[in-house]
Chain A
Amino acid sequence: MIQQILARFPAEKVQDIPLWGGLPLYRLHLPPDVPGK
């Protein structure tokens, strides 16, 4: 599901949170073709 979210939204990786084996943190942006935007 997370892969689907990342595929659907423009995202940039912010950093890895080192606990629990390194957790990638992404910032999502609104895609340009969202209805109502």
Chain B
Amino acid sequence: MPIATASCWSRRGCWALVFVVRPTNGLFLLVFAIPLLRDGRLIRYGLYLLGPGLLYGLYNHAVYGSPWRTGYADIRTDLVSEVFSQHFGFYLWQTLAQCTPLLVALALWGLRPWSWEKLFYALWFAAFLFFYSFWRSGGDRWWWSRFLLPGFPAIFLLAALGLQRVREQWCASAPWRDRRVVALFAAIALVPVWQVYFGWSQHDLWKRNKGHDYYEITQRIEAVVPPHSMVGSVEFTGAFRIYTGLTGYISVFDSTPDLIIEGLQQSVTSTSWSSRGITPTR
């Protein structure tokens, strides 16, 4: 096999593995149902997922006893209708702010004239928007929009179609004399200015070294707890493993109290702390 072909297959394999390990990528099944119904031969691209999917199933079987059971806990309790309206508005607003109103306007402009392809793009974004509007967590900080990232390419593609429509309607001849075209390209040129402003105003994006924080926090905790402690946290287990001799566990799972009891019965000193600043209720 030529090296270039082998490299191509390894890239496909890596991408497919990354794709299959995240359960919410199942939303793509809904999205791609439309093109698949119109042309069943497209299923051949899904065959790339077979090998990595099989590997993932074997791993899950070895670790969790079933190919269908994953390291993700049961997410059904995390989908609640009470948060829908607030989260839906939040994600729309964040899409407007982060993709910029110009890109969103071009995407909306690109929806006409209507076609199956555009329905596909619209459903692609809508699938992630609607699903995560039901997701319990989120709806307060800009970085929750990471949930929508798998759906953002559809916005970009629709915006490209919108730009194509602009070209067809406004750029028949001498477009540089058309003030609308000049204004549009001036607005496009200003998009990076908005992006930098938006990023600069997010202090935790630019002005903090979070990697160092992970190191610093785990070092400080190691200094005050007994050696070989089990330390519970929301998101620092990896840092405890890498930077300390402590054992970390995630303190938000339902099985956590059982884990604590087991650890305590094995005479391991257990310490739990919160990254949300919650004070004890007892």
Contacts and interface: CB of A to CB of B under 8 A. Distances in A.
A and B physically associate = yes
Interface stretch (B8-16, B139-147, B213-221): B213-221
A6 B251 contact: no
Interface size class on chain B is: 20 to 34
A24 B216 contact: no
A2 B278 contact: yes
B276 interface: yes
A25 B274 CA distance: 7
Interface size class on chain A is: 20 to 34
Given A1-B252, A9-B260, A25 B216 contact: no
Nearest to B276: A2
A28 B272 contact: yes
Nearest to A21: B277
A1 to B, nearest CB: 5
Given A9-B260, A11-B272, A34-B261, A3 B224 contact: no
A26 B265 contact: no
A19 to B, nearest CB: 5
B264 A30 contact: yes
Given A26-B271, A28-B264, A1 B251 contact: yes
Interface in A1-26: 1-9, 11, 13-15, 17, 19-26
Interface of A: 1-9, 11, 13-15, 17, 19-30, 34, 36-37
15 contacts: A1-B251, A2-B252, A3-B278, A3-B280, A6-B278, A14-B225, A14-B271, A17-B217, A19-B213, A20-B213, A23-B274, A25-B273, A27-B270, A28-B264, A34-B265
